[in-house]
Amino acid sequence: MTGGGSGIGKAISKLFASQHAKVYVLDLDEKSGKETVDEINKGGGKGFYKPCNISKHAEVKQLIDSIYKEAGSINILVNNAGIAHVGNIEGTTEEDLDRLYNVNVKGAFNCMQAVIPLMKSKGGCILNMASVAAAVGIPDRFGYSMTKGAVVTMTLSVAKDYLKDNIRCNCISPARVHTPFVDGFLAKNYPGKEKEMFDKLSKTQPIGRMASPDEIAFLALYLCSDEAGFITGCDYPIDGGFIRLNN
Give the residue numbers annotated as catalytic, written as ranges.
144
Residue 247 has pLDDT above 70, yes or no: no
Q: Is residue 153 within 8 Å of residue 135, measured between CB atoms?
A: no
- Confidence bin at 202 (pLDDT 50/70/90): very high
3-state DSSP call for residue 10?
Answer: helix
3-state DSSP call for residue 223?
Answer: helix
- 79 has which bridge partners? 128
Alpha helices in 72-133 (DSSP H): 94-100, 106-119
* Nearest partner of 46 among 77, 18, 69, 67, judged by Cα: 18
Domains of the chain: 7-177+211-245 (3.40.50.720)
Cα–Cα dist 109/103, whole Å:
9
Cα–Cα dist 221/112, whole Å:
19
pLDDT at 57: 98
Cα–Cα dist 127/117, whole Å:
16
Cα–Cα dist 161/100, whole Å:
26
CB atoms within 10 A of CB 103: 20
Q: Is residue 74 within 8 Å of residue 118, measured between CB atoms?
A: yes
Q: Determine the angle formed by the axes of helices 213-223 and 7-18, rounding to 10 degrees.
A: 50
pLDDT, tens only, 59-79? 999 999 999 999 999 999 999
Residue 52 has pLDDT above 90, yes or no: yes
pLDDT at 10: 98
H-helix or E-strand spanning residue 170: strand 167-174
